[in-house]
Amino acid sequence: MDVRVRPLREDEVERLVDQLWLPFADEMAEVDGYNELVDEATAREHGIAYRREQLDDADARVWVAEREGAWTGYVRASVSTPAPVFARGPTLQVGELYVVPDARGTGVADALMDRAAEWGRTRDCERVGLSVNANNDRARSFYDRRGFEPRRLKLDRPL
């Protein structure tokens, strides 16, 4: 059965956080300890508040993917407008993309990215940008397959 991608509704924010975002955050912490959450209760509370704020932001969207009534993933995207000194238009910034393990490799991530890109085009975005953890080989392979290329290298170190 095909995947259905639709906007997140306000009454689904807690479900999104519990079923998709917290598992995503746990996986990201396994990839790199830098992503470890303080504790699940605090992360859940702030995750819910953050998602509710985004629902009110005209420049941000969250979509969920469903297959046979079950949620299989989500994507969060926003429009980033450059300073007027740059000769480029807005960028669609993908902040999060997550697919549940059982649905990986079935086209869910492609459907989510396609939906976000479609919205970005309606907002006159010229490019799509994102950050991916350097150690997340599966995600990097997915983005490589979709034609993403490194433009910048983000560096950090402890103070």
Q: Which residue has the tokens 């034609």?
A: 147
Residue 155's pLDDT is what?
Answer: 86
In CATH, 4-145 is 3.40.630.30: yes
Taking residue 136's Cβ as centre, other Cβ atoms within 10 Å add up to 15
Residue 50's pLDDT is what?
Answer: 94
3-state secondary structure (DSSP) of residue 17: helix
> In this structure, are residues 44 and 102 in contact, taking their beta carbons and an 8 Å threshold?
no
Residue 38's pLDDT is what?
Answer: 85
Residue 42's pLDDT is what?
Answer: 93
| Cα distance between residue 23 and residue 84, in whole Å | 39
Q: What is the pLDDT along the chain (159 residues), one digit of tens a residue?
A: 589 999 999 999 999 999 999 999 999 888 888 888 888 899 999 999 999 999 999 999 999 999 988 999 999 999 999 888 888 889 999 999 999 999 999 999 999 999 999 999 999 999 999 999 888 999 999 999 999 999 888 888 889
Token digits of residue 23: 């598992």
Residue 126's pLDDT is what?
Answer: 95
3, 10, 103 from 129: Cα distances, Å: 24, 26, 24
Taking residue 147's Cβ as centre, other Cβ atoms within 10 Å add up to 7
pTM: 0.92
